Amino acid sequence: MRTHARRKAGSSRWTMAELGEADEAELQRLVAAEQQKAQFTAQVHHFMELCWDKCVEKPGNRLDSRTENCLSSCVDRFIDTTLAITSRFAQIVQKGGQ
């Protein structure tokens, strides 16, 4: 981060009050990006739970072909969804960087 304020001699830390507008904007952008990552992770976990609940009737040592096919389709949808979400996040970040 760039700094726009002067530090006191011997001081190695910056306070929020000493940050310039550009630094504050950068910090806000980083916080927003971390929030988006957390949201994405939560969506991934939710989607995985849905697939499990939909496809696995009773867990066992082996999966039958119906369960395998269901999970495979679910994974395919998961990948498609992940790509769509990632693309959308990239668009948001790109717009924010302009």
Residue 85's Cβ-count burial label (10 Å; 0-12, 13-18, 19+) is middle
More confident: 52 or 22: 52
pLDDT at residue 14 in the model: 61
Whether residue 77 is predicted with pLDDT greater than 50 in this model: the reply is yes
pLDDT tens digits, one per residue of 1-36:
444 444 454 555 666 666 677 777 888 888 999 998
- Banded model confidence at residue 98, pLDDT cuts 50, 70, 90: low
Model pTM score:
0.48
